[in-house]
Amino acid sequence: MQHEKEIYALGIGHNTPVSIDLAEACGYKIKGLYHYNDTRTGEIDHGYEIIGSFDDLFARGSLEGMNFMLTMGDNEIRTQLLAKILALGGNVPSMIHPTAVVSRFATISPVAVYISPFVYVQADTVVKQNTIILSNADISHTCTIGCNCFIAGSSTIGAYTTIEDNVFVGQGVLTISGKVGTIGQNSFLAARTLVTKPVPANSRVIGMPGVIIENKK
């Protein structure tokens, strides 16, 4: 089992070193980086070699026995890459920073969930696969966070909130416990939005209190 804690990072950008910090804190050794194209192959980024492009990786065929992490914040891109890696037999493990506090009554998917430093996940909450929760976020009890979501730092998700798939929650968003119910799939909540009522799918919400400025049917 010599290689079970080795991991490769996909995506080179501003969030890459943040992801590297998380992986290393969780005991992983970074084996190399993959960029979306081949323009940076051979370069060193934050001390690690860019060893190829996404196309180079997927051209290998089987990814059996290999661990990967997805460093990009874009929910759609992460979702597409996760599906390709899993289809080829690769593993995208969830990572929970040692300083995060996750209730033993919470359920965290073992696939591609990244929980950053000083996050709180309270009891009876479910976090589904391919979701990122950044530092100082507070996920209250009895919540559900869907697949392929991004919860930015210092957000508070109030109790009894269901966030459906592919939702982006900006910095400092607050949803009121017992008032919101559901934030529909593919929605975008702007930074510091105060959410006081349910949000339909495909909405863009901004303000205190939050106002829907766009709803794509």
Q: What's the N-to-C CA distance of the chain in angstroms?
A: 49
Cβ neighbour number for residue 33 with a 10 Å cutoff: 24
Read off the pTM.
Answer: 0.93
- CA–CA separation, 16 and 105 (whole Å): 31
Domains of the chain by range and CATH?
6-87 (3.40.50.20), 95-205 (2.160.10.10)
Q: What is the pLDDT along the chain (217 residues), one digit of tens a residue?
A: 344 599 999 999 888 999 999 999 999 999 999 999 999 999 999 999 999 999 999 998 899 999 999 999 899 999 999 999 999 999 999 999 999 999 999 999 999 999 999 999 999 999 999 999 999 999 999 999 999 999 999 999 999 999 999 999 999 999 999 999 999 999 999 999 999 999 999 999 999 998 988 776 6
